[in-house]
């Protein structure tokens, strides 16, 4: 019975943790991007979302002139361009293989500069960069080598559970300097097409409707797709919803099967003690007392099994979070302790309810048996 | 107590064998020096150290199986807890694994060893608790 509670509670908490962890991660990534609308070249939405969420590098381009057109739309408070680049794979001129690089314009940026100001007290200079939480300088080296160019890592951003954790942020000036020197320093040159940018981050004036500005961007700037903040990572959210439906089905089946199993095991265990329970009744114990004792026993077993299942599952998910993230292809970040406690309570409650309900029928049957009959058989 | 012995033997085998298939060397990765020679990454040395801890843990599991003395169980349990802590400390603090979270040693080997270490500590703690419980009954 405790094993069934272990499974029910463990499975429930695993589902809640993974779904919450993914949602948490998507929200943090959205906050980190800090834009109300992201404008990307038409047809590249999924590519850009995958790059930002999973850190798979992508290179998409659109004319730089789009920036001025977008900035001129009434209701747009600020617009800043970004370049999406990547390091080379398995090349000695790059310390880190296939890393997603985001170059920003410090003059117009509103997403990364404010964070830098609060962390290192100033913006980035030429040859400097900030990295996601998993970006580090290789052992025995002073800097990170990108296309043979030495970049100094100034700080690391807090974890988001997304590809941003494995991405590096640098200024336009640094990116263009790397591109200029790469033909001499690297195995392959870094190519940034003339007058091109990868995306435009848009911040809206207060009270402006993002949907109307999106429609205006589509009307005035051909060849681009605006993604409003609530719709960001929509493809992932839809995938998650699809997964949620299947997972809920499996959880339902597990609950029913566990309920049946618990009922059967409890019925057998109670039958074994029929004589003892009969003696108890003959000595004056009420039916209600016997019923409550049996249900209390089931509840204690459920709590023990549930707690063990939850502890084990939380531990396994915490330890294997990177493997889970890579295997499922979803971003993942553990929820904060308060939310985790609520989820643990829900999992425990589910195990308790499932076990108590399943034990109810056999407990009721045994407790309502005539003492003489129970003792004789 | 016999069950705890069996659990410790299984865990010692996992601790000894898992690093052989989940360190970077098992995936053909190594540090290339300036002179072209290759040396194993530090996750490999963590694996070797874990093997050295797994051997006494295996023996400890067998001693759990063949002994009946309460005091021996108590001492073995304390030793098991210490070995469990060492199993956790090797890939986290003492030697470590590669820093890149995408590498197999970081995403698979380290979590397996930490989990095994925790289970060894838990199993040994249960053994210690049982050795104090019901003094008048055989364990």
Residue labelled with tokens 């499932």: A354
- Taking contacts as CB-CB distances below 8 angstroms, the residues of chain A near B100 are 96, 134, 136
**What gap in Å lies between CA A58 and CA B114, rounded to an integer?**
35
- Contact A104/A123 with Cβ under 8 angstroms? no
Q: Which residues of A64-80 are buried (b: 16+ CB within 10 A; e: fewer)?
A: eebbebbbebeebebbb
The pLDDT, as a whole number, for residue A306 is: 87
- Contact A115/A155 with Cβ under 8 angstroms? no
A74 three-class SS: coil
The candidate with the shortest Cα–Cα distance to B47, out of B33, B76, B27, is B27
The pLDDT, as a whole number, for residue B47 is: 94
Two structure tokens written together for A179: 């591109």
Nearest CB partner across the interface for B107, out of A139, A166, A323: A323
pLDDT digits (tens, 9 = 90+) for B79-117: 999 999 999 999 999 999 987 777 889 889 999 999 999
**What gap in Å lies between CA A271 and CA A361, rounded to an integer?**
13
Neighbours of B19 (CB within 10 A): 30
State the number of CA atoms in the 13 A half-sphere of A330 facing the CB. 25
**What gap in Å lies between CA A313 and CA A306, rounded to an integer?**
10
A360 three-class SS: helix
DSSP B133: S
B1 three-class SS: coil
Two structure tokens written together for B64: 């759990």
CA B70 to chain CA centroid, Å, is: 24
The pLDDT, as a whole number, for residue B34 is: 65
A201 three-class SS: strand
Say whether B111 and A320 touch across the interface (CB within 8 A): yes
CA A27 to chain CA centroid, Å, is: 8
Q: Does any CB of chain B come closer than 8 Å to the CB of residue A322?
A: yes
Q: Which region, left, alpha or beta, applies to residue B32 given φ > 0 means left and ψ of -120 to 50 means alpha?
A: beta
Q: Does any CB of chain B come closer than 8 Å to the CB of residue A372?
A: no
Q: Does any CB of chain B come closer than 8 Å to the CB of residue A275?
A: no
**Domain residue spans in chain B?**
2-26+40-132
**What gap in Å lies between CA A85 and CA B24, rounded to an integer?**
28
- Taking contacts as CB-CB distances below 8 angstroms, the residues of chain B near A95 are none
* Residue of chain B nearest A321, judged by CA positions: B107
- Per-residue model confidence as pLDDT tens for chain A (377 residues): 677 778 878 888 888 888 778 777 777 777 767 788 889 999 888 888 888 777 778 888 999 999 999 999 998 888 999 999 887 765 555 556 668 888 989 888 888 887 787 777 888 888 888 888 778 777 667 788 888 888 888 888 877 777 777 788 899 999 989 888 888 887 788 888 888 899 999 988 888 888 888 899 998 888 899 888 776 676 677 777 777 788 788 888 888 888 888 888 888 887 888 888 888 888 888 888 888 888 888 888 888 888 998 999 989 988 988 888 777 767 777 777 888 888 888 888 888 888 888 888 888 888 887 877 777 75
Taking the model in full, what pTM does it have? 0.71
Maximum Cα interatomic distance, chain B, rounded to a whole number of Å: 68
Angle value at C-alpha A351, between A348 and A352, nearest 5 degrees: 85
Two structure tokens written together for A167: 């991405």
ipTM for the predicted complex = 0.82
Say whether B118 and A315 touch across the interface (CB within 8 A): yes
Q: Which of 149-188 (A) contact B at CB < 8 A?
A: 166
Q: Which residues contact B66 (CB under 8 A, 6 or more apart)?
A: none
pLDDT digits (tens, 9 = 90+) for B35-81: 777 788 889 999 999 999 999 999 999 999 998 888 899 999 999 99
Sheet of A100-104, strand order? A144-146, A149-156, A128-131, A168-171, A100-104, A76-86, A199-204, A37-41, A224-228
Give the minimum alpha-carbon distance from B43 to chain A in angstroms, rounded to a whole number.
14
């Amino acid at each position: 019975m405790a094993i069934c509670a272990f499974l029910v509670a463990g499975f429930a908490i695993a589902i809640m943790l993974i779904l919450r962890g993914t949602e948490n991660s998507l929200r943090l990534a959205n906050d980190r991007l800090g834009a109300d609308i992201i404008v990307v070249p038409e047809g590249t939405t999924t590519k850009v979302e995958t790059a930002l969420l999973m850190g798979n590098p992508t290179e998409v381009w659109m004319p730089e002139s789009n920036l001025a057109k977008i900035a001129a739309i009434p209701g747009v408070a600020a617009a800043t361009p970004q370049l999406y680049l990547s390091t080379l794979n398995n090349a000695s001129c790059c310390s880190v293989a296939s890393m997603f690089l985001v170059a920003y314009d410090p003059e117009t940026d509103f997403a990364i500069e404010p964070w830098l100001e609060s962390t290192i007290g100033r913006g980035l200079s030429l040859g400097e960069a900030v990295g996601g939480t998993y970006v580090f300088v290789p052992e025995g080296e002073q800097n990170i080598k990108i296309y043979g160019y030495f970049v100094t890592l100034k700080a690391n951003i807090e974890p988001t559970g997304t590809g941003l954790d494995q991405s590096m942020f640098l200024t336009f000036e640094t990116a263009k300097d790397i591109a200029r020197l790469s033909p001499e320093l690297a195995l392959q040159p870094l190519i940034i097409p003339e007058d091109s940018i990868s995306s435009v981050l848009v911040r809206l004036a207060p009270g402006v409707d993002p949907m109307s500005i999106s429609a205006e961007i589509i009307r005035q700037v051909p060849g681009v797709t605006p993604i409003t903040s609530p719709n960001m990572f929509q493809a992932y959210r839809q995938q998650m919803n699809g997964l949620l439906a299947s997972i809920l089905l499996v959880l339902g089946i597990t609950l029913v099967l566990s309920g049946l199993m618990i009922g059967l095991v409890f019925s057998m265990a109670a039958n074994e003690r029929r004589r003892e329970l009969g003696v108890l009744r003959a000595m004056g114990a009420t039916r209600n007392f016997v019923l409550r004792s049996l249900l209390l026993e089931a509840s204690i077993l459920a709590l023990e099994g549930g707690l063990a299942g939850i502890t084990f599952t939380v531990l396994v998910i915490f330890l294997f979070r990177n493997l889970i993230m890579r295997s499922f292809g979803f971003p993942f970040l553990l929820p904060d302790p308060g939310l985790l406690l609520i989820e643990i309570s829900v999992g425990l409650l589910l195990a308790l309810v499932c076990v108590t309900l399943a034990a109810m029928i056999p407990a009721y049957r045994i407790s309502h048996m005539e003492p003489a009959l129970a003792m004789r058989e | 107590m016999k069950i705890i012995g069996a659990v410790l033997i299984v865990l010692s085998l996992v601790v000894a064998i898992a690093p052989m298939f989940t360190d970077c060397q098992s995936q053909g990765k190594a540090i290339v020096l300036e002179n072209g020679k290759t040396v194993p990454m530090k996750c490999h040395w963590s694996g070797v150290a874990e093997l050295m801890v797994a051997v006494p843990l295996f023996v400890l599991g067998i001693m759990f199986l063949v002994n009946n003395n309460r005091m021996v169980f108590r001492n073995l349990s304390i030793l098991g807890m210490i070995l469990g802590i060492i199993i956790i400390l090797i890939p986290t603090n003492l030697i470590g694994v590669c820093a890149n979270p995408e590498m197999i040693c970081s995403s698979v080997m380290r979590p397996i060893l930490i989990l095994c270490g925790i289970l060894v500590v838990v199993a040994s703690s249960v053994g210690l608790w049982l050795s104090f419980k019901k003094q008048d009954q055989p364990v």
